[in-house]
Chains A and B, each alone.
Chain A
Amino acid sequence: MLSGIQLFPEEASTFAPKVDALYFFLVAVSAFFVVLIAGMLLFFAIKYRRRSPNEVGAPIHGGLLLETVWTVIPLLIAMVMFVWAADLYFQAYKPPKGPAINVYVLAKQWMWKFQHMDGQREINELHIPVDQRIKLIMTSQDVIHSFFVPDFRVKMDVLPGRYRTLWFEATRVGTYHLFCSQYCGTGHSRMTGEVIVMTPEAYAAWKAGGVSGDTMATAGEKLFTNLACVTCHNAQSGARGPILTGLFNQKVALTGGHPVVADDAYLRQSIMNPGSQVVAGYQPIMPTYQGLVNEEQLLDLIEYIKTLKAMPAVPTVTTSEPDGRAVPKSSARSLPVAPSAQR
């Protein structure tokens, strides 16, 4: 390992060389000013060293020209840095339109759980193909964590109760460190993992050999039925709940408010706190599912809604709750009185 004393991270994403270019520019500017200041200090300190005990300095007060020059020039340099860096930030944090492989990320003390759309689940390891855009939809189950892959130069805090989207495109096959970079308790330094970037062939092979099981969408569909969502959200005309097909990323008109975009966060909010955003033209009768679904199930439901092609038919038999209670069809559940324990 001694021969490989590394002093610089690898450039393994489309973003990394851009960040490094800005970094080197800043290093160069900083080195220039540090050398300049140190040099001038040294030069003046030697040239004007005190030669007799009662010597005093010359009566110089200042110079407006000099003040202006050394205010304006640093300001201009700073503005160059600002604009360059802001442009990079836009690129990093605004996922570009177009196809991407979505992976859901669930952070919890002290591990990373990844859910691929096809149902594959990973813990602390993320397999992705090289040269393809990856979109991570991330949330935390408990405290704030942060998803950080140094070799990609990407990082984003992962928040409880919110979804955040991070995108990147890996450019080199290899295995790269994943760190949690927001202090989250005892196991913070152990909450690390690996991002494994594979050739398309290797990735296909990995996917094929994956654990069989429900895709996220299928799991979501089962939940949709078991939790009686279909009671109100169904294909029947005059159904009590809005249509969900083609809903994702569309504008939705809310009661008494301006339209919002139905993104991941909106869908989560609709399930956890429906009273806060009622679709215009519908009654505020949807009960909250807080305490009845966990974060992983939420992700499955959201994936299901995203892929929904047609609303399900109204069920003709009583459905059962996950806890076994039977729910007669066409019942409207009342609001829960107090929040259930959620820790």
Chain B
Amino acid sequence: MTTAVLPRENYLNTDYRLRSWLLTTDHKRICILYLLTITMFFAIGGAFATMIRLSLVNPAGTLVSDETYNKLFTMHGIIMVFFFLVPSIPATLGNFLIPMMIGAKDVAFPKLNLASWYIFVTGGCFTLWALISGGVDTGWTFYTPFSTLSSNTNVSLAAIGIFIAGFASILTGLNFMVTIHRMRAPGMTWFRMPLFLWSMYATSLIMVLGTPVLAITLLLVAAERVLHLGIFDPSRGGDPVLFQHLFWFYSHPAVYIMIVPGMGVTSELIAAFSRKRIFGYEFVAFASLAIAVLGFLVWGHHLFVAGLSIYSAMVFSLLSYLVAIPSAIKVFNWTATLYKGSVSYATPMLYAFGFIWMFTIGGLTGLFLAALGLDVHVHDTYFVIAHFHYIMVGGAIMGYLGGLHYWWPKMTGRLYPEGWAKLGALTIFLGFNLTFFPQFILGYMGMPRRYHVYPPEFQALNVLSSAGASVLGIGYLIPLVYLLWSLKYGPIAGDNPWGAKGLEWTTTSPPPTHNFAVTPIVTEPAYNYAGEQEESRVG
């Protein structure tokens, strides 16, 4: 084997000046811009999580004041949801891969793509300003009338920051949808697309349809505070529960924005590291769309104890059970893919396994919450916190890290050290479960969420959870270190170090600015490891 070298001209080395980065319209460079930004936000959100878990070691909750603790969990939620999870896979891996996977030179609107990064950063600046100049203490859910009438923190500023960042989300989703519709290379039909693209399309659909409703809701909250309107003020005829309906109409689909991309990554990882077509490709593709559509119909399950009529609660509960089914279908299909596959234990595959296992637990506990009579007990307790962290951290972040490791060689031209990578994955897995599994038990025992003072019988589990959090924190530092190290010292990867199928692996690592020297023409289905001739299919 000849000594591998990095391609002479690639998207990273064409121009080293700062302005070539800040004014780039190359989707791959925009991915890097987002990557750096969201990593910074993750660190900030993680710092708040650290403070929260430290405080919860002690039932008297004296580490920080009441006000400070309330600000900590609020800012942790706002930053992690809006400034890390929602953009994470779409704005990084989505940006990098969508044009490459369809054989295009760029996304549909490259300048809009750059604009959306600047909008995201602007929203982030407003939010950080809200944080630094005193913080917000409403919870990331901004429930009225507390947020409009009672809180004396920087609510409007934070709302504006999220409002602005929401536009970045909308524009990204718009860009991706148009790109997938109109810029596929010749022969790249919908059903030849890798499943990552189906999940990115479904995610974009949700971003485009849901985010505007959040935008208007936050605008109303800010308007009420600044202009002293009474839209949610009960003493003037306002209905605070209306806020909850409007807020959750976006925020429930938002959780699918956060998990569906991770599912898309998992499909790619399972296929690549079993060298086999995903079992039930069409079912997985349609399941992504089904999740997107059904996800818009279940928001009321956040209001089961809030004052819904019993009958609408029943409708929302039924729909919430229905939306779980497509996710279950995906889990079964991924598992079935391994049958008679050629299974590798490379780090990305370990992350995929972790994703499947922890998403399954998180998703199943969602059934507990959809169960009306049971939700009465566990709503607003640590059970809910454990549920959504299993999905958003055990699921989405594992998917993100798995995808980052899988496409790292493509993006950087380098391989990371496999031993350290496996250690990192294992540490994260163990730390995560130690942190969040005890919280299911705490929740059923009755510990409410957003409590930092709690009865002493809850302490043992809280200490266990905080111990796990320290392991998890170390786990996240490990990839940070070796991934940065690999940029300079990692072995050269070559075009296709994994032997994987997919258009992105047919070009160099890193790719040239225009992705492909010649526009590819697609003649085979996705994941065609067995080298099959395609049967004629409809559509």
A associates with B: yes
In contact, A155 and B360 (Cβ under 8 angstroms): no
Interface residue A6 (Cβ < 8 Å from any Cβ of B): yes
Say yes or no for A339: interface residue by CB 8 A criterion.
yes
Partner-binding segment picked from A22-30, A197-205, A247-255:
A22-30
Q: Does A19 contact B (CB under 8 A)?
A: yes
Main secondary structure of the interface of B (DSSP, over half): helix
Q: Which candidate, A184-192, A307-315, A319-327, is the interface stretch facing chain B? A: A184-192
Q: Which of B194-250 contact A (CB under 8 A)?
A: 234-237, 240-241
Q: B321 within 8 Å of A by Cβ?
A: yes
CA distance A164 to B308 in the complex (A): 11
Q: Are B66 and A190 in contact (CB under 8 A)?
A: yes
- The reply to whether B381 and A181 contact each other, CB–CB distance below 8 Å, is yes
Q: Is the beta-carbon distance between A41 and B356 smaller than 8 angstroms? A: yes
* Residue B22, interface by CB 8 Å: no
Q: Is A179 part of the binding interface, using a Cβ–Cβ cutoff of 8 Å? A: yes
The chain A residue sitting closest to B324, CB to CB, is A78
Nearest residue, chain A, Cβ from B365 = A30
Whether the Cβ atoms of B376 and A58 lie closer than 8 Å is no
Q: Is B109 engaged at the interface, CB distance under 8 Å to the other chain?
A: no
Select from chain B the residue with minimum beta-carbon distance to A77: B367
Are the C-beta atoms of B338 and A30 separated by less than 8 Å? no
Which residues of chain A are within 8 angstroms of B489 by Cβ–Cβ distance?
none
**Contact present for B339 and A153 (CB under 8 Å):** no
Given A41-B353, A78-B325, A189-B450, the answer on whether A155 and B372 have CB atoms closer than 8 Å is no
* A189 partner residues in chain B, CB cutoff 8 A: 61, 66, 448, 450-454
Q: Spot the interface stretch: B13-21, B39-47, B170-178, B278-286.
A: B278-286
Residue of B nearest to A160 (CB): B234
With an 8 Å Cβ cutoff, the count of chain A residues facing the other chain is: 95
Asked if A151 is at the interface (CB within 8 A of a chain B CB), the reply is: yes
Whether, in the assembled complex, B524 has its beta carbon less than 8 Å from a beta carbon of chain A, the answer is no
Look across to chain B and name the residue whose beta carbon is closest to the beta carbon of A5. Answer: B460
Q: Is there a chain B Cβ closer than 8 Å to A45's Cβ? A: yes
| B310 CB contacts on chain A under 8 angstroms | 89-90, 93-94
Chain B hits for A53, CB < 8 A? 499
Is A293 on the interface with B (CB-CB < 8 A)?
A: no
Contact residues in A for B530 (Cβ distance below 8 Å): 56-59
Tell me the residues in window 210-258 of chain A with beta carbons closer than 8 Å to chain B beta carbons. none
A295 to B30, CA, bound (A): 56
CB contacts under 8 Å to A, within B250-292, are 274-277, 279-283
Please, how many angstroms separate the alpha-carbon atoms of A55 and B335 in the complex?
19
Q: Which residues of A contact B149 (CB under 8 A)?
A: 142-143, 343
Between A and B, 9 residue pairs with Cβ closer than 8 Å are A57-B342, A60-B340, A67-B283, A78-B321, A82-B321, A88-B371, A144-B240, A155-B380, A186-B66
Q: Hey, which bits of chain A sit against chain B, CB under 8 A?
A: 1, 4-9, 18-19, 22-23, 26, 29-30, 33-34, 37-38, 40-41, 44-45, 48-51, 53-63, 66-67, 70-71, 74-75, 78-79, 81-82, 84-94, 109, 142-144, 146, 148, 150-151, 153-157, 159-162, 164, 177, 179-190, 192, 273, 290, 339, 342-343
